[in-house]
Copies of this chain bind each other. A is one copy, B any other.
Amino acid sequence: MGELQEKGRLAKDAAYQLAVLTTEQKNKGLLAMADALEAAMDDVIAANALDMAQAKENGKPQSFLDRLLFTEARVQDMADGLRAVAELPDPVGHVEEMWLNKDNLQIGKVAVPLGVIGMIYEARPNVTADAAALCLKSGNAVMLRGSGDAIQSNLKIAAVLAKAAEEAGIPAGAIQLIEDTSRETVNEMLKLNEYLDVLIPRGGAGLIQNVVKNATVPVIETGVGNCHIYVDETADIEMAVNIILNGKVQRPGVCNATESLLVHKNIAAKVLPAAAEKLLEAGVELRGCEETMQYIKEGKPATEEDYATEFHSLILSVKVVETMDEAIMHIRRFGTKHSEVIVTNDYANSRKFQQMVDAACVYVNASSRFSDGFQFGFGAEIGISTQKLHARGPMGLKELTSYKYIINGSGQVRK
């Protein structure tokens, strides 16, 4: 039997047991995992050093190395993250509603774990601990498939966590790493319907599209964010500039960063020079339409391709629009249904924008950077869904549950 089959069967068995653990039992596991990770600090960093050496040898860029690197502080962050998840409320068992039907059957809708979750992710080994914690707290078994580039780090972290969890009473198989990082094994995992209830890919567009296009296991699509700010005619200039600057430069490499700026023609002469001053100061390259160039002499011409691109860097596409409707149509065409912002002081336009724009998060007068489980108050997140099925936007513990109906009768039969 292959690794996937063997681990899948173990995970499925574990999932049945995990589903009925008490909150206290799961928290005990999480705290033990945090302690074990701290105790294994040196080993984790040593394993990570092997990955780092390999990555450097392979000529990976600096941004890649930054994400891959473990320092003491980062391992401590992972351990703290495990403890923070222990503090969060347990979503399992919550009865969302309960009612009597016409036959006097009592019908309750109860939150239950999804079962076995497959995580497929790139070379960010902290995901190994984060995902393990969130899946355990929500009563799910997890099969982790990280990148080959982080395999030594992942093996060490997963081994430490799985051992600590098991010793603390969590069923064996609850947390498992797939050791075979070949492409064939991923492709097999995408079709592992017998054991997996859901797949959550996390990473770049290529990884996610491979999963979406080839998986037969249900997928929660995450991540791609071509987010816009539309500055309406009545916007407060200073507020607009702050929100643009924050959206673009506070952390440009993430999915909720702002990639494109749309400005109403009647306010362009005021907003664009003011925004450009700050953006250029922060090192942002501006790519605009013809009208944009009238207000920003440092700008470069934008192509259609620019409007469709999630830059993930200090580049912002800019367009002057005739009307809010034009902005909405532009977002419909180029947006990825992640996070969209209007800056306005017009009440009717604020409502219309929120209603007409189809995205997970639609903001009035706030930065797109708030699209995040921690910022929303969920305490943690496993990703940001850009699909409409099951979960949309930031996903916390609750989004890692399904539900079942429990029906209490006294002998009712159907007429």
Residues of A within 8 A of B (CB): 16, 19-20, 99, 101-103, 105, 107, 112, 114-115, 193, 197-198, 212-214, 216, 218-220, 236, 239, 242-243, 245-246, 250, 332, 350, 354-356, 358-367, 369-371, 375-377, 387-390, 392-393, 402-414
Whether A366 contacts B16 by the Cβ 8 Å rule is: no
Most B-side CB within 10 Å, residue of A112, A193, A332, A363: A363
What's the least CB distance linking A216 to chain B, in Å? 5
> In whole angstroms, what is the CA distance A405 to B388 when docked?
12
Among residues of B, the one whose C-beta sits closest to the C-beta of A240 is B411
Q: What residues of B have a CB within 8 angstroms of the CB of A366 in the complex?
A: 105, 407-413
Whether B389 contacts A358 by the Cβ 8 Å rule is: no
Q: What residues of B have a CB within 8 angstroms of the CB of A413 in the complex?
A: 242-243, 245-246, 250, 366-367, 369
8 further A-B pairs in the complex, CB-CB below 8 A; given A193-B212, A365-B409? A16-B356, A20-B355, A242-B413, A243-B413, A250-B413, A365-B410, A366-B412, A392-B402
Most B-side CB within 10 Å, residue of A366, A389, A412: A366
Among residues of B, the one whose C-beta sits closest to the C-beta of A350 is B408
Q: What residues of B have a CB within 8 angstroms of the CB of A370 in the complex?
A: 101, 103, 105, 407, 412, 414
What's the least CB distance linking A294 to chain B, in Å? 27
Q: What residues of B have a CB within 8 angstroms of the CB of A360 in the complex?
A: 404-405
What's the least CB distance linking A149 to chain B, in Å? 27
Q: What residues of B have a CB within 8 angstroms of the CB of A356 in the complex?
A: 16, 20
Whether A239 contacts B388 by the Cβ 8 Å rule is: no
Q: What residues of B have a CB within 8 angstroms of the CB of A220 in the complex?
A: 389
Q: What residues of B have a CB within 8 angstroms of the CB of A216 in the complex?
A: 212-214
Q: What residues of B have a CB within 8 angstroms of the CB of A102 in the complex?
A: 377
The 7 closest A-B pairs by CB, nearest first: A366-B409, A246-B413, A388-B402, A369-B414, A390-B390, A239-B411, A365-B409
> In whole angstroms, what is the CA distance A103 to B377 when docked?
10
22 contacts between A and B (CB under 8 A): A16-B332, A101-B375, A105-B366, A107-B377, A193-B212, A197-B389, A198-B388, A198-B389, A214-B216, A218-B388, A236-B411, A242-B411, A361-B407, A363-B407, A363-B409, A364-B406, A364-B409, A365-B409, A367-B412, A370-B407, A392-B403, A393-B404
Q: A216-B213, A250-B413 are in contact. Are A115 and B364 (CB under 8 A)?
A: no
> In whole angstroms, what is the CA distance A14 to B15 when docked?
42
Q: What residues of B have a CB within 8 angstroms of the CB of A355 in the complex?
A: 19-20
Q: What residues of B have a CB within 8 angstroms of the CB of A239 in the complex?
A: 411
Among residues of B, the one whose C-beta sits closest to the C-beta of A409 is B366
Whether B404 contacts A112 by the Cβ 8 Å rule is: no
Among residues of B, the one whose C-beta sits closest to the C-beta of A218 is B389
Q: What residues of B have a CB within 8 angstroms of the CB of A198 in the complex?
A: 388-389
> In whole angstroms, what is the CA distance A286 to B70 when docked?
63
Most B-side CB within 10 Å, residue of A102, A107, A220: A107
